[in-house]
Chains A and B, each alone.
Chain A
C-alpha cells in the first residue's frame, strides 16, 4: 500500500477528544489509485489531507506513506516527504506571485532536485499553458492558475497527489477541464490521487469514494 492510515485521531486546541475532527479514521490507498474524499464542510477532509502530507501533527494513530511512518519523522523528515513521494494542490492555487508561470511550474521539481525540463515542457503543452510561460499569476484566469498549480505538483512525478478541493474556486466548465487534465496526467504517470471534493460529478469519476463523517471514514 502506498498510504495507510490507522486509528487516526486529531483534535485542535480547546477541542475535547469526543469532538475531535478525526476519531479513529482508517484508510488505505494503493499505488496509482484515485480516491475521492467527500464530506460536509468542516468534516475534516482538509485536515486528513494535511496530516497525510505531513503538514500537521496528529494526536494518536499512525500514517504510513511510501513505507515511512510519519510519527517517526521530525519536521525536516516530513518536509523531505513532500519533496519526495508527495505533492499537494490547494484550492487557493498558492502560486508564487513574483515568479512567472514557467518558474512556478519548475519550482517544486527544483526544490526536490528532480527537474526534468522535457517533462515540464510536455506538461506545459498538455495543460494548455504554452505561450503563457513568461506571464505572472496575476495575469492568468483562475482556471489557468489552477492548471499551473496542478502542473507544478505533477512536475515532480509524485507517487501521491493530495488535492484539496482544487477546483473549488472555478466554474463548472473550467473545473471539469482542470480535473480532466489533472486526473488524466496522474493516471498516465501512475500517480495515486486523494482528492477532497464537494462535487458529486468529480467524485463519481474517480476509482473509489470515501466519505468522512463524525471523524471517521466510510
Chain B
C-alpha cells in the first residue's frame, strides 16, 4: 500500500522536475552558506586548538596575577610553601623577522610540549635550550627568516609550532622581552601535596585558573566567528524561505491527490508518514548537495578568512580545509531541522486535511491574506522581544535584538504590502491599472515569503555596507591622525638608530622614538607604548576624551592615555587611576581610538617607559620631514646608511597596508551578503514559477477580453518590479536600523569601539538596481513563457472549467 502511495506522491515531482530542482536547490543553498561558515569556523578553531596544544598544556590549571606579572619572589615563595609549579614568560617579541609570539618555558619542570618533544627526539637538543647562548625553536618559514639575521641564540626548526610562534627557555625569553624576572604565568603541575596554603595568603593578587581557560586566539577571535555564524544563520533562514515556499506549494498542488489517496483507503497517518519521509529524503539530498557546495565555497573564502585572522588578530589559521565530522553533521542536522521547520506548516495542514473539503487554491490564498494581520502582530511581538533582549546588554543580546528586528519587520511585510497596494489601487483610474493592482494584491500571499527573503537580504546588505563604509571612513580619518609621520624606520641596532637620528635632525627633520612592550593585564595582553612629548602627537593623536593638560601629565610620567577598547573592557574612564604594572599607578588622562586592535593599549611618556623597561630596543623611529629635508627621504637614507628597503616604510605605504587588511576583513562579510541577495533572487524565481499554474486561469479571461499576451507578459514583469520597489522602500529603514545596531551595539560589545554612522545613498541605489535586476531576471522566465504561450493553452483554461 505504502509503496503505491509513495509512487503516486513522487509522480508529482516527476511531472514537475523544475519545482523539485528548486526545492532541492533552495535547501542546498541554505545549507551551503551555513556549512561554509561552519567549516571556516571549525578550521580556524582547530588551528587554535593545535596551536594551544603545542604551546600550552591546557589540561593543567594555571596561576596568573591580577596585575599582569607574577614577581619572581612570588614564585619562589609559592615553591617554598610546597606548590609544584613551572614558570612561563611569554609575550610579543619584535624579532629581526617581524613581531612574533615568544614562549619561554623552564625545560626542566614544564610538562611535555609537542614542539619541544620533537626537538628531543633523536637530536637531544634540550640541553641546548638551557645553554647560555640559548635556542630558539621556530616553525620552518620563521626559522629560516630568523637564521638569516644573525643573533645570539641558535635557531632550530619544529613543524609542530604554529605560525608566528617561537619557543625558547625562560631565561632567553626574559632577556629578549626585557622582563627582569617578571613571569607571565605559572603552570600548576600534577601531584601537588594534599594540603597547601591558600594562594592569596601566600601572595595577594594571584588567581588560580581552571584547566582549559585561555586568553589565546579563541577568546580574541570569538566575536569574529560569532559574526560569521550570524551571517551563516541569516543565509540559512533566507534559504529556508525558499524551502517553505516550495514545500507549501507542493502540498497545495497535491491536495487533490491527498484526498484521492485517502478516498482510496490510505490512512491519514500513513499519508503523513510518507510525506514526512519524502521531506526528510529531500532534506538529505539537498543537505548533502549543500554540504558539498559549502565545502567548495569555504575553500574559496578560506584564504581571505585566514588573512583576516592573521592580520587582525595575529591568530593562526590553516590554509587548507579538512572535511570534519562536526560541520558535516551540523550541516546535515541543520538541513533536516530546517526542512522540518519549513515544512511543518504544510505537514500540519495535511494532518488536519479533511478528506471531503472542496479543492481550492484560492482558499489557501485567502487564508494567507487573512493571516497578514496575525503575522504583523507576531512580528511586532518578535521585535519587542528582541528589544527586551537588548536591555541586559552583551553581544548575545545585541544579536537577539537584531534577530527580533529582522524577523519582526519581515513578518510585517505582507500587511505593509497589502496596505500599499490597496492605496495604489484606489488611485488607479484605467481599468487595466485597477486590474493590475488588484491582481498584484491577489498574488501577495504566494509571493510574500520570497519578498520577506528579499527584504532580509536587502536590509542586511544595506546594514552591513553602511557599517563597513562608516567604519572605513572613520578608519581612514583615524589613520591620517595616527600615522602622521612621513617615514617609519627600523635601524639595525640602537647605535645605528642614534646615527640616523643625528643625520636627520641635522637636515631639519623631527625624529621621534617608537618604543613599546607587552605585558599581561588581568589575563589579557596589554601593549604599552612610550611617546615623546612632541607637538605632532598633541595635534594629531586621535583622542576621544582627554583631561586638561593631559599630554603634559603623560610627558611628566604621571598619567597615561588608554585605548577605547581597553577602557571599555575594564570600565575605565578619564580621571581614574590605573596600575598597569606592579608598583605603578597613573591617572588616566584620556581615551583614544585604536581601531582594529583586539589588544588593550596604553601610552606612557617615553621617559617613564624607559625607566620601567630600561633595556627596550631603540631601533624604531618616526620621521617628520621639513622643507629642508632631502627628498626622497628614503632614497637619501638608503644611500647614507645602506638601509634595506624593508627597514623604511613610507606613511602612504603603511596606510595602504592597513587599509588592505581592513578591506580584507570585510571581504567575507560582503561576499556573504551578496550571496544572500542571490538566494533571495532565487526565492523570487521559485515563487513566480510556482505560481505559474495559478496564473493562467487569472490571465486567460483578460486575454479573452483583448489584452495581448505581450502586454500580459510585460504586466507580469512590472508586477515583480513593483513588489521589489515596495520591498526596497521598507528595506532601507530596516537596513539603517541594522547598521545602527551593528555600529552602536555589536561593535562596542564585540570589539570595544563605537563608530559614527555615515550614509551612502549611492551604494543603496546600486543595491536597489541589483535587486531590481535580480527580480526582473526572475520574472523574465515566466514572462517569456507567457509571451510564447500558444493560444490553445489559454483556451484550455476555459475548456477545463467545471
Contact = CB atoms under 8 A, between A and B. Distances in A.
Interface of A: 50, 53, 55-56, 75-76, 79-84, 87-88, 90, 92, 94-99, 103, 107-108, 110-113, 136, 138, 169
B11 to A, nearest CB: 4
Closest 8 CB pairs of A and B: A83-B265, A110-B4, A82-B265, A98-B15, A98-B11, A79-B267, A76-B267, A94-B260
B637 to A, nearest CB: 80
26 contacts: A50-B356, A53-B263, A55-B263, A56-B356, A75-B269, A76-B267, A76-B269, A80-B265, A82-B263, A82-B264, A82-B265, A83-B1, A83-B264, A92-B802, A94-B259, A94-B260, A96-B8, A96-B11, A98-B12, A98-B15, A107-B8, A108-B264, A108-B265, A110-B3, A111-B5, A169-B802
B460 to A, nearest CB: 38
A27 B12 CA distance: 40
B256 interface: yes
B694 interface: no
A111 B265 contact: yes
A75 B268 contact: yes
A87 B260 CA distance: 11
A111 B356 contact: no
B263 A111 contact: no
Interface in B118-139: none
Contact of B262 (A79, A87, A107): A79
B363 to A, nearest CB: 16
B256 A94 contact: yes
Nearest to A74: B267
A144 B260 CA distance: 18
Nearest to B3: A110
A110 B1 CA distance: 6
A107 B8 CA distance: 8
Interface string B2-43: 011101100110111000000000000000000000000000
A55 B356 contact: yes
Interface in B230-276: 256-257, 259-270
B356 A98 contact: no
Interface of B: 1, 3-5, 7-8, 11-12, 14-16, 256-257, 259-270, 355-356, 800, 802
| Binding site secondary structure of chain B | helix
A110 B7 CA distance: 10
A107 B1 CA distance: 9
A98 B14 contact: yes
B15 A107 contact: no
Given A76-B267, A113-B1, A98 B16 contact: yes
Most buried by B among A50, A81, A99: A99
A138 B15 CA distance: 12
Given A80-B265, A96-B8, A169-B802, 5 more contacts: A55-B262, A55-B356, A76-B268, A80-B267, A84-B265
A107 B267 contact: no
A113 to B, nearest CB: 6
A113 B356 CA distance: 24
A88 B3 contact: no
Contacts of A98: 11-12, 14-16, 257
Most buried by A among B259, B261, B264, B269: B264
Contacts of B8: 96, 99, 103, 107
A113 B267 CA distance: 14
Given A76-B269, A94-B256, A169-B802, A111 B15 contact: no
Contacts of A81: 265
B251 to A, nearest CB: 14
A23 to B, nearest CB: 20
Contacts, number: 82
B356 A75 contact: no
B4 A88 contact: no
Nearest to B359: A92
Contacts of B356: 50, 55-56
A112 B802 contact: no
Contacts of A90: 263
B255 to A, nearest CB: 11
B268 A88 contact: no
A96 B263 contact: no
B11 A111 contact: no
A111 B266 contact: yes
Given A94-B256, A98-B15, A111 B267 contact: no
A79 B268 contact: yes
A173 to B, nearest CB: 18
Contact of B264 (A50, A75, A107): A107
A94 B265 contact: no
Contacts of A95: 260
Nearest to B5: A111
Given A76-B269, A169-B802, A111 B16 contact: no
Contacts of A55: 262-263, 355-356
Contact of B265 (A79, A97, A103, A169): A79
B254 to A, nearest CB: 8
Contacts of B270: 79
Most buried by B among A53, A79, A110, A136: A79
A159 B129 CA distance: 95
Contacts of A112: 1, 264-265
Given A75-B268, A83-B265, A97-B15, A111 B259 contact: no
Contacts of A75: 267-269
B260 A96 contact: yes
B12 to A, nearest CB: 5
Contacts of A108: 264-265
B267 A96 contact: no
Contacts of B269: 75-76
A48 B264 CA distance: 17
A70 B399 CA distance: 56
A88 B268 CA distance: 17
A53 B270 CA distance: 19
Contacts of B259: 94
Contact of A111 (B4, B14, B800, B802): B4
Given A55-B356, A92-B802, A111-B1, A99 B11 contact: yes
B359 to A, nearest CB: 8
Nearest to A112: B265
Contacts of A79: 262, 265-268, 270
B419 to A, nearest CB: 33
Contacts of B265: 79-84, 108, 111-112
Contacts of A96: 8, 11, 257, 260
A94 B263 contact: yes
A42 to B, nearest CB: 14
Contacts of B16: 98
B575 to A, nearest CB: 75
B1 A88 contact: no
Contacts of B14: 98
Contacts of B12: 98
B274 to A, nearest CB: 12
Nearest to A80: B265
Nearest to A100: B11
Most buried by A among B4, B265, B266, B355: B265
Most buried by B among A96, A99, A103, A112: A96
B324 to A, nearest CB: 41
B102 to A, nearest CB: 70
Contact of B261 (A97, A111, A113, A138): A111
Contacts of A103: 7-8, 11
Contacts of B1: 83, 110-113
Nearest to A99: B11
A94 B14 CA distance: 19
Contacts of B7: 103, 110
A97 B7 CA distance: 13
Contacts of A169: 802
A176 to B, nearest CB: 20
Contacts of A111: 1, 4-5, 261, 264-266
Nearest to A152: B264
